[in-house]
Chains A and B, each alone.
Chain A
């Protein structure tokens, strides 16, 4: 019960943290007066002059605007924009309000309101540049000396291209759980995920940095075949192998769609619990079945919907939730989010690099960050690592916990 109340409290905190940030309009202290259509400009000048007891500066063409604004800026005189039937009165808040009140009583005046500051709209918060991908900028591993050194991170996916420049010569432990297929990644998905989580490439030249935790001891379990699908039993076997290998972090960019009323699978509840008890945190992609362009939000898929699996949703470089990203509309919930749109990472030779989108791309970002947290404090394992990752996540814009959980994962 206490645990349940604590969880409810945490859920409320998360919701509160995700309340949309609404910045109230910022008044300049001046007021804008709108005159009725057809009121003669000479009458407007007279009325404004009388109300403000000052001679208005008038603008009757675009060419006279600059000089007029300079004069108004220097003298705080009222301004009449003849073409638009508008006047702007200033001279301090009190004077402006008094003049506006007088004018508002006239039949010739249609409206009076404060003038507000307007701001340039902010551009996308992150973008790819020569140093790093937008995803790296968003989760920010470059501000720390941590690299995941000493941490075992498992990617359970379609295998890996061990001859890729990112991985050649590294002490990678790899094993295939797919009958009759080697660990070599033919499909490409696994190599991309491994690159995001653990590429050691540090950027520069024409290729930006895209690997989060370059120092981890990478473990690769091939649990999806060369067509990108895999039997559940082989996937569970892969998880079990990663746990037995002592992997502190296990990244699974895989799953299947669920129905909103579908209960989490007890198999994965137990597998996830066993992993946490053994000190392994399993992160799962939340799924790509939503189509938010049409307001359709699909429930978190399986196995990400299991309570004991940490579900990762995807956001884009615009800090918006990815249109495809599954949300907490059914029995499952999203725990955190990470970059998952147009993610640049490694690709099996000869292609070497490609941009892909999906919660599959978000999951290894979060897994890499989890590895950095695990390196930062040897006590952060299993549930403690889960808490460290979610507690450090930051709210994203006004996005709801339903879509991004505790928010965007962040490096220590």
Chain B
């Protein structure tokens, strides 16, 4: 069931089944996670998590912008986050 965004100023949250998708953005080794996160916010994206030890930023609802984000300065790799399961 789609929950839909309540705050229309934020990008829409894409829902697949019951799972909200997020982009996982890996920053380049020499980049500042704060700067890349600011860049993403300025581009209108909703930064869900900043994980400095892992060098990862989570961005909600930006699946359509994977290509554009992957070309941003300070970004090394982008993928659509999937799910893991208890094994």
CA distance A410 to B41 in the complex (A): 49
Residue from B55, B82, B83, B86 in contact with A270 in the complex, judged by beta carbons closer than 8 Å: B55
Residue from B19, B51, B54, B87 in contact with A301 in the complex, judged by beta carbons closer than 8 Å: B87
Q: Which residues of B contact A236 (CB under 8 A)?
A: 24, 51, 54, 56, 58
B interface: dominant SS: strand
Q: Interface digits, A235-256 against B, CB 8 Å rule (1 contact, 0 not)? A: 1110110011000000001111
Closest to B26 in A: A267
CA distance A179 to B26 in the complex (A): 22
Contact assessment for B84 and A274 in the assembled complex, using a CB-CB cutoff below 8 Å: no
Chain A contacts with B in 324-370, Cβ cutoff 8 A: 358-360
CA distance A360 to B76 in the complex (A): 32
Is B20's CB within 8 Å of the partner chain A?
yes
Is A224's CB within 8 Å of the partner chain B?
yes
Chain A contacts with B in 50-93, Cβ cutoff 8 A: none
CA distance A255 to B20 in the complex (A): 18
CA distance A303 to B54 in the complex (A): 14
Q: Interface digits, A148-187 against B, CB 8 Å rule (1 contact, 0 not)? A: 0000000001100000000000000000000100000001
Closest to B58 in A: A233
Is B49's CB within 8 Å of the partner chain A?
yes
Contact assessment for B86 and A360 in the assembled complex, using a CB-CB cutoff below 8 Å: yes
How far, in Å, is A357 (CB) from chain B's closest CB?
A: 11
Chain B contacts with A in 38-68, Cβ cutoff 8 A: 48-49, 51-56, 58
Contact assessment for B81 and A231 in the assembled complex, using a CB-CB cutoff below 8 Å: yes
Given contacts A231-B81, A256-B82, A266-B26, contact A285 B54 (CB under 8 A): no
Is A229's CB within 8 Å of the partner chain B?
yes
Is A271's CB within 8 Å of the partner chain B?
yes
Q: Which residues of A contact B83 (CB under 8 A)?
A: 229-232, 256
Residue from B19, B51, B77 in contact with A231 in the complex, judged by beta carbons closer than 8 Å: B19
Closest to A326 in B: B87
Contact assessment for A189 and B86 in the assembled complex, using a CB-CB cutoff below 8 Å: yes
Q: Which residues of B contact A29 (CB under 8 A)?
A: none
Q: Which residues of A contact B55 (CB under 8 A)?
A: 270, 274
CA distance A231 to B80 in the complex (A): 10
Closest to A252 in B: B84
CA distance A233 to B49 in the complex (A): 8
Q: Which of A243, A267, A278, A302 counts the most chain B CB atoms within 10 A? A: A267
Contact assessment for B53 and A230 in the assembled complex, using a CB-CB cutoff below 8 Å: no
Is B79's CB within 8 Å of the partner chain A?
yes
Given contacts A231-B22, A236-B54, A243-B53, contact A266 B77 (CB under 8 A): yes
Residue pairs across A and B with Cβ atoms less than 8 A apart, 27 shown, are A158-B86, A231-B19, A231-B20, A232-B24, A232-B83, A233-B56, A236-B51, A240-B56, A253-B87, A254-B86, A255-B84, A255-B87, A256-B82, A266-B26, A267-B24, A267-B26, A267-B54, A267-B56, A267-B77, A267-B79, A270-B55, A274-B54, A288-B87, A301-B87, A302-B84, A359-B87, A360-B87
Given pairs A266-B76, A267-B79, A271-B56, 9 additional interface contacts (CB within 8 A): A179-B20, A230-B83, A231-B19, A243-B53, A255-B87, A256-B82, A266-B26, A271-B54, A285-B87
